[in-house]
Amino acid sequence: MSDTKVPQKTDLKALTKSELQDFCKELGLPRFRADQIFQWLYQKGVRSFDEMTNLSKDLRARLDEVAFISGLEVVSQQESKDGTIKFLFRLDDEGKDYKVEAVMIPDFYPDGVPKRLTVCVSSQVGCVFGCSFCATGKMGFFRNLTHGEVVDQVQYINSLTEQKYDKKITNIVYMGMGEPLHNYKTVTTSAEIISDPLSIELSPKRITVSTVGLTKQIKQLADEQQPFNLAISLHAASDGKRDEIMPINNSMNLEALEEAVKYYHQKTDRSLTYEYLLF
């Protein structure tokens, strides 16, 4: 019996743009091929190599031998009277039934024409932080999403808004399931891909990342000069109250959060948004 192992295929949507360039280089392909593939994946949203029609048939066949394109499955979508649509996506995990939600929130002019089309995306299956007002925190934590899975949510909804309203999405908020800065690399990479000219090309100024207050990651955003907006999920002005509703405050209290926010502002000279639920 042979012990030869079948080479594992590479999920192209698990690669960053630079990793995709390295992957193509290893196949002996010129740099522009990586850009073409990237554009097919993230601007056109294809699910198979056969759809990449500006690649030769031989190259498409070769890619199919060594790689694959993962994708989310749309389980359901529910539209409310105000036009808000909630989407349920199933992840491509064999033997598991992980699902995440995303929401499209429209804002209309008086004549019914959409002014803003905001997408709220998930970054994790579940969450470890257990905020008392959040349903996701009650389900526990299962895994991080990949940047491809985050972009998939955006791509699907963007395709829908183009068909429904003849308009692309205008804003993205990382405020769905999970704590975005607890999945730091995925969130920053997906935001970079979404704003890429060969992708959806949404301005970083229209992308907002929300956090319960992970101070180390807030400072990291500042040090890296990440160009998108930051929102702090505050919800209480005293440690006593915040301890009750947001367990993160027991280890990163308001004083630590204030210090991190000041650091961020001094480094970036940018304003932040504070989120506060009225109970």
Average pLDDT on 213-229 reads 98
Element spanning 258, H or E? helix 254-268
- Decide if 10-68 and 73-275 have a common fold: no
Please give the sequence-ordered ranges of beta strands (E in DSSP) within the chain, or none if there are none.
10-11, 67-68, 73-79, 85-90, 99-108, 114-120, 124-126, 141-144, 171-174, 207-211, 229-233, 273-275
Quote the CA–CA distance of 43 and 37 in Å, as a whole number.
10
Of 4-18, 40-54, 123-137, 214-228, the poorest mean pLDDT is in 4-18
Query: What pTM was computed for the model?
Result: 0.94
What fold, for 73-275? Answer: TIM Barrel (3.20.20)
Per-residue confidence (pLDDT) for residue 2, from 0 to 100: 47
Strand-pair category, 171-174 with 207-211: parallel
pLDDT in tens, 131-173: 999 999 899 999 999 999 999 999 999 999 999 999 999 999 9
Quote the CA–CA distance of 6 and 54 in Å, as a whole number.
29
What fold, for 10-68? Answer: DNA polymerase; domain 1 (1.10.150)
pLDDT in tens, 42-89: 999 999 999 999 999 999 999 999 999 999 999 999 999 999 999 999
Per-residue confidence (pLDDT) for residue 5, from 0 to 100: 54
Ranges of each domain in the chain: 10-68, 73-275
Mean pLDDT of the chain: 95
Average pLDDT on 27-40 reads 97
Give residue 30's pLDDT band: very low, low, confident or very high (50, 70, 90): very high
Whose tokens are 């033997």? That residue is 95
CA triple 219-222-224, angle to 5 deg: 110
Whose tokens are 């500006």? That residue is 54
Q: Which residues pair with 119 in a beta bridge?
A: 104, 172
Decide if pLDDT at 18 tops 50: yes
DSSP, res 230 = E
